[in-house]
Structure formats: C-alpha cells, structure tokens
Amino acid sequence: MSAAWRSRSMEPRDIARVVEIERASFPDPWSAAMFADELDCATGLHVVAEEDDGDVVGFLIARQYPDEWHLMDLAVRDDRRRTGVAAGLLDGFLRAAGCAGRRIILEVRPSNAGALALYEARGFAVIGRRPRYYTPSGEDAVVMERTPDEGPGFSGPVLAIETSCDDTSAAVVHTTGGVLANVVHSQDAIHERYGGVVPEVASRAHVERMTVVVREALRQAGIAMDDLAAVAATVGPGLIGALLVGVQTAKAIAWSRCLPFLPVNHLHGHLAAVWLGDPAAPFPMVTLVASGGHTSLIRVEAKNSFALLGQTLDDAAGEAFDKGARLLGLGYPGGRELDVLAESGDPGAFPFPIGLRRSERPDFSFSGVKTALYYLLRDMTESERSARAADIAASYREAIVTALVEKTLRTAVDQGARTVAVAGGVAANSLLRRRLSAEGEARGLHVVVPPFAYCTDNAAMVGAAALQAPVLQYPEYLDIDASASLVLGQWLPAPRSAIA
Ligand code: KG4
Ligand code: ZN
C-alpha cells in the first residue's frame, strides 16, 4: 500500500532529502548546490511529493523558457517507485506547462526503461540523441519532446462573467455565436435602501452569488465545466472591488480546467450586444451606448475596431432618468418606472431643455433637464405633483430621448454609417426604441435595438465581445488585473509587472 501524498513547492530545507533521492536514482546525480541554484531560479517550477507524515518521497524540477519548458529532473524514492508518485508529479507539471501552450523538452537515459515508458504514455516522443550528455559517466541522452495539446485557438462553449457594477452575471456563449445561457442576478433590491450602488456592498454580494450564478449558467446551457473551451470576464471599466470578483473567479476556473482566459472591456461588451441582437447588421455602425454610467457615441468599423465620437459632458442618460425618477418619488433605480409612467402622459405638457441641441458636436448634456425638473417640482403643490406625474414623466423623457435620437442619427448620417444601433440599460427605454427605429429607417439606415436582456448589464454581451479579445494562456493571465478606468479600444489593463 502506498501512503497518501500531495505536492508542494520545494524549499531549501528539502534539499538534503532531495539529494538523497537523487543519489539513489541516477549514476550522475546533481549536487546540493545545483538544487539550491534551481530554487533561486524565478522561471523554474520545483515541487516535492510529501507524504502525510511530512516525508519527502519524490520531486520534479522544470524551467520555463520563452517558447518551451525544460523538464530537468524527476525522481522518486526507491521504495515508492511504481506507486504513481512519478506519474502524479508529471501530470501536475503537464497541467501547468500544457496550459502555457508551450512544448516540453527533456533528456532521459536510454537505459531508463521505466522513465521512457512513462514519458511515452504521456505523449512525449523521441526527437534525437545527445552523445555523451551525462557526466561523468559519458552516457548518451535521448531527447524527448511533447507538443502543446492545443494552440491558441479554441472552439466550443465559452463561459463569460460580468461583475463590473451591481449585476452578477454568467453566460455561456458558443464560439459560433449562439447564446446557450445568460443568467443575471440583479442587486437592485440590496442597493435600493441606499438610493445608489454602494461599491463595497456590491463586491460582497458578488462574492456570495458568483458560484451559484456560474453553476446556473452551466446548468441552463446543459454543459459541465469540463466542456468549456475558454473563460472570459469583464476586466474594466467599473467598480474595482466588483470587477475583481469576476476576474478572479474566471482566472481560477481557467487555471483549474487549463483553459485560455479572455479579458473583456465592458464597453466592448455593450457594443457586442448589437451583433448578438442582429448578427447580420452591416458595418460601419454608429452605436449609442447609454447606461447608468455611460452615454457615448461610438463608430464601430468592425467587431474589434472602435472610435469614440462624442459623449456626455456631465450626467449619463441613465443617471438623468434615475435622478428624475427619484425626484418624482418612483422606485429604484427608477429609469424603467419613469418610462412606464411616461407612457400614459402628455410629452408636450411641460417644456424641458434639450441639452446641446444646437451644437454640431456629437456630445450630450443632461444636467439642465434635471435641474429644470427640480425647479418645476419645487414650485408645485403636492396634489399638483401627483395629478401631473405622468405628464411630467412624459415631458422629461421626451427631452432626454429627443437629445439622444437627434444626435445619434445626425452622427450616423455624417459618418456614412450603414447601421445605427443603441445599447446599454437605457436602450430598454420604450420611446427611445420606437423613435430610433422609425426615424433611423426613415433615413435609410439599418437600425438595431437589441433585445432587452442584452441591453442592461449581462454576461452574454461579454461572451460575444470575448470572441475578439486577446487569448491569454497560463501563466500570462495571472499578471492581468482588473482596471476601474479601462477606456474604449483598450483590451487589457497594464500587466501588474509593468506598474512601477
Ligand atoms: O447598462 P446598465 O444595466 O448598467 C450600467 O452599466 O449602468 O444600465 C442601467 C441604467 C439605469 O440607469 C436604469 O435606470 C436605466 O439603465 N434603464 C432605463 C430603462 N431601463 C433601465 N432608463 C430608461 N428607460 C428604461 N426603460
Ligand atoms: Zn454597463
């Protein structure tokens, strides 16, 4: 019976035991000084197999080079040979090295039949011989190579995770473009009592929900984690603590299943909602991204080519809706409730200012309309306010939507765009949807207003954007952090090692 063992990093205190095993295993053993040098090597991988009683019974040493791994030493104490320790150490190493997509090279004595058989069983092939490689014996070495299991390409289901603000979301998107599952757990009920998103509360709620949301997405997609081809997550912009939950979850899954990690810019995600909604929409597009945090007009040349044309100079459109809803005493966040109330009101009842209407620039401003609402309500009695609530909501919505639609369509025409589209939570607004469709088509543009589920924050759009994202293999992605301030067109935050 072999004792249970686990692998852990080799430490200087292990060297004496390791040298004993080495001497009993090979005619040309490494010295203690050689092991000490290896432990100092930052690109090395050094592990020991340790039994439950703390006894070291085997070890593996490898080094990583820019395009290959060199498996340098693998030995097991003689009384533990043929008990699976060598195979276990090797499989652990292959997992780490295979994830990196690099080939592995090793030398072995032609007389070491057990080792040759183990390596062959794990996909190594003999590619040459090094004469008189071992000293002092002068024995030749056989050189073996194992090519990476997968190249940088991948195909199949991709798990995508979105936690940039207050929605915990996981989706499964196939590399062919289909959405297999899109699960969103909104935190609105949690933040409602504070009247806004509390970042630390959002992060904690993401931690609590992440696992169940990922499991549910896999269940709805009808797949297991082992079926995944890649893992994607929003890396920015957004609330840093919230982003980190999704990024770390995705990295952990990628590492445990040896999958590539795809970092996604949240804004690219909102833009991808357009081709999720209409895969045939022609480029170039002008897309309005209007949410609680952004109001931007973006030229989309192709699925991976974006240019910012203009944006809000103050509040985001969603923020203007939410602040209006708050002044009117509607729910939280309020944009949807204001929209519902506005449907039954007269949009011409009250004149609200339309920000930057006469400016040629494709920019927006919503602070004026918000202030006008504040003064209008201040000067009304309580009974006037409730009697005219629907008319006020309709007039307020009219001013915001008019600004959005006029600027968006003018910009799309000026840009020679073939498609005009809207994305982000505000794209759920019923007047915006109706008006952009009708007026866009009247100008001969192809109009895309994606389904509601792809407009508010969701992981399906992140999965769709991930198909254009950099493909990061282990260990490259370990160095990628979340970034609160990622800008349009930026795919990756600066690696941690590049930050002084
Ligand atoms: O994209 P999103 O889910 O989250 C952010 O990234 O901000 O957008 C949420 C925003 C909120 O401001 C919400 O009130 C607004 O979208 N929203 C609406 C409607 N539904 C959601 N605004 C106007 N009309 C709606 N029907
Ligand atoms: Zn968003």
Q: Is the CB of 336 under 6 A from ligand 1?
A: yes
Tokens of 380: 């009304």
d(CA 437, CA 340): 19
Q: Is the CB of 429 under 6 A from ligand 1?
A: yes
Protein residue with its CA nearest to atom 24 in ligand 1: 429
DSSP string, 388-449: THHHHHHHHHHHHHHHHHHHHHHHHHHTT-SEEEEESGGGG-HHHHHHHHHHHHHTT-EEE-
Owner of token pair 């069983």: 121
Q: Which residues contact 25 (CB under 8 A, 6 or more apart)?
A: 75, 76, 78
Q: Among 185, 422, 426, 429, which is best to mutate for testing ligand 1, by the most ligand atoms less than 8 A from CB?
A: 426
Yes or no: say if 142 and 152 are a contact pair by the CB < 8 Å rule.
no
Question: Which of 432, 473, 427, 474 lies closest to 452 in space, CA to CA?
Answer: 427
Encode the chain (500 residues) as per-residue pLDDT tens digits: 457 898 888 999 999 999 999 999 999 999 999 999 999 887 788 999 999 999 999 999 999 887 788 999 999 999 999 889 999 899 888 876 665 567 899 999 999 999 999 999 888 999 999 999 998 889 999 999 998 765 447 889 999 999 999 899 999 999 998 999 999 998 888 888 888 888 988 999 999 999 999 999 999 999 999 999 999 999 999 999 999 999 999 999 999 998 999 999 999 999 999 999 999 999 999 999 999 999 999 999 999 999 999 999 999 999 999 999 999 999 889 999 999 999 999 999 999 999 999 999 999 999 999 999 999 999 999 999 999 999 999 999 999 999 999 999 999 999 999 999 999 999 999 999 999 999 999 999 999 999 999 999 999 999 999 999 988 888 889 888 999 999 999 988 876 655 44
Count of alpha carbons within 13 angstroms of residue 184, beta-carbon side? 19
Protein residue with its CA nearest to atom 3 in ligand 1: 456
Q: Which residues contact 63 (CB under 8 A, 6 or more apart)?
A: 38, 41, 43, 44, 45, 69, 70, 72
Question: Which of 485, 305, 330, 474 lies closest to 392 in space, CA to CA?
Answer: 330
Q: Is the CB of 335 under 6 A from ligand 1?
A: yes
Which listed ligand is nearest to 462 at the C-alpha?
Answer: 2
Measured in whole angstroms, the distance separating CA 438 from the mean position of its chain's CA atoms is 35
Distance 63 CA to ligand 2 centre (A): 42
Cα separation values, 303 from 175, 403, 413, Å: 14, 27, 20
Q: Which residues contact 182 (CB under 8 A, 6 or more apart)?
A: 169, 171, 217, 453, 454, 458, 459, 460
Q: Is the CB of 267 under 6 A from ligand 1?
A: no
Question: How many CB atoms within 10 Å of residue 33?
Answer: 10
Distance 267 CA to ligand 2 centre (A): 7
Measured in whole angstroms, the distance separating CA 322 from the mean position of its chain's CA atoms is 28
Say if residue 401 is exposed, middle or buried (CB neighbours under 10 Å; 0-12, 13-18, 19+): buried
338-352: burial string, b at 16+ Cβ within 10 Å, e else: bbebbeebebeebeb
d(CA 182, CA 160): 9
pTM check: above 0.85: no
Tokens of 263: 């970092």
Whether residue 136 is preceded by a cis peptide bond, meaning omega within 30 degrees of 0, is yes
Yes or no: say if 323 and 315 are a contact pair by the CB < 8 Å rule.
yes
DSSP string, 159-211: EEEE-SSSEEEEEEEETTS-EEEEEEEE-HHHHGGGTS--HHHHHHHHHHHHH
Q: What is the DSSP letter of 239?
A: -
Question: Which of 295, 305, 310 lies closest to 411 in space, CA to CA?
Answer: 310
d(CA 397, CA 438): 17
d(CA 41, CA 36): 9
Question: How many CB atoms within 10 Å of residue 433?
Answer: 18
Question: Which of 203, 186, 194 lies closest to 484 in space, CA to CA?
Answer: 203
Q: What SS3 state is found at 378?
A: helix
Q: Is the CB of 345 under 6 A from ligand 1?
A: no
Looking at residue 300, its amino acid is V
Please give the number of the atom of ligand 1 that sits closest to the Cα of 316: 12
Yes or no: say if 335 and 319 are a contact pair by the CB < 8 Å rule.
no
Q: What is the dihedral of CA 377, 327, 409, 467, to 10 degrees?
A: 180
